[in-house]
Copies of this chain bind each other. A is one copy, B any other.
Amino acid sequence: MLEILECGGCIEPAHFFTLMRRTFRIAHLLYLEAEPYPDELKICRLHHTFGAYAAELYLTRGLYRIDPILKLALGGVRPVEWTTARHRFPECEPLFKTAEEIGLSSEGVALPLPSPAGRMALLAINVNMSAAEWSIYRRNHLRDFQLAANLFHAGMLENAAMTGGLNTREMRLTGRETEVLTWSAAGKSYWEIATILGISERTVRFFMTNARRKLNVVSNTQAVAQAVRHALIPTV
């Protein structure tokens, strides 16, 4: 199975999920790719096997706001054990209560996945077994999950790069736009940037305006925040 993934043969989420469930004792899978924003999370891609009803409950009850797995997996690097997350964040009980209501297990693990340009992704794996069983199973197969997740994610990213680069094309900053943003992030004023780059102050403003438009923000401050978050400008 891992060979199939490595050769890029599996870019269809449904196919990958089926393969995973057939190969391992997995109940459900969820793949999420998102962009972190100041006040929310912009979901770029979402595939899962939990079904429409579970998804509806998750959304209508606002469970995504308390989901500790999202916070931990999208912010970190280490695999996130569901039960560990549950114990560390008591306020997320409604989430697990809801899961139990509709007959979903609370055992599982979420694997953070690397993404370029500040995006984050995760593959969550839900199993239907006792805690003891899961502990052993996890020890044996976490490495398989991790590699499979990485390869699948790589396939998804490559596929996205192939088919729809519209996001990347829109958001791509030109050389000058990157430069003025970088200097602005360094605390320079328009006049200073103009002097540094040897161009007129008006031109600096022109580049900054274009950068703001491309980043879809309303102020230089917000533009710089976005640029730093998405690694569009170098860190000093």
Contacts and interface: CB of A to CB of B under 8 A. Distances in A.
A50 B51 CA distance: 50
Contacts of A143: 2, 143-144, 146-147
Contacts of A6: 78-79
Interface stretch (A21-29, A94-102, A148-156, A199-207): A148-156
Interface residues of A, number: 63
A165 interface: no
A186 interface: yes
Interface in A1-30: 2-3, 6
Given A37-B236, A38-B234, A114-B114, A222 B77 contact: no
A38 B229 contact: no
A88 interface: no
A218 B157 CA distance: 33
Contacts of A228: 117-118, 225, 228-229
B142 A36 contact: no
Which of A37, A117, A142, A221 is packed against the most chain B CB atoms within 10 Å? A221
A230 interface: yes
B157 A35 contact: no
A179 to B, nearest CB: 9
Contact of A146 (B146, B184, B189, B225): B146
A178 B147 contact: no
Interface in A175-234: 175, 178, 182-187, 189, 217-222, 224-225, 228-231, 234
A69 interface: no
Given A38-B183, A186-B222, 18 more contacts: A2-B142, A35-B234, A36-B235, A36-B236, A38-B234, A40-B236, A76-B154, A77-B114, A114-B114, A114-B115, A143-B147, A146-B146, A185-B222, A187-B218, A187-B219, A187-B222, A222-B224, A225-B225
18 contacts: A6-B79, A35-B234, A38-B182, A38-B235, A75-B235, A114-B115, A117-B228, A118-B230, A118-B231, A143-B143, A146-B150, A147-B147, A185-B221, A185-B225, A187-B218, A187-B222, A189-B219, A225-B225
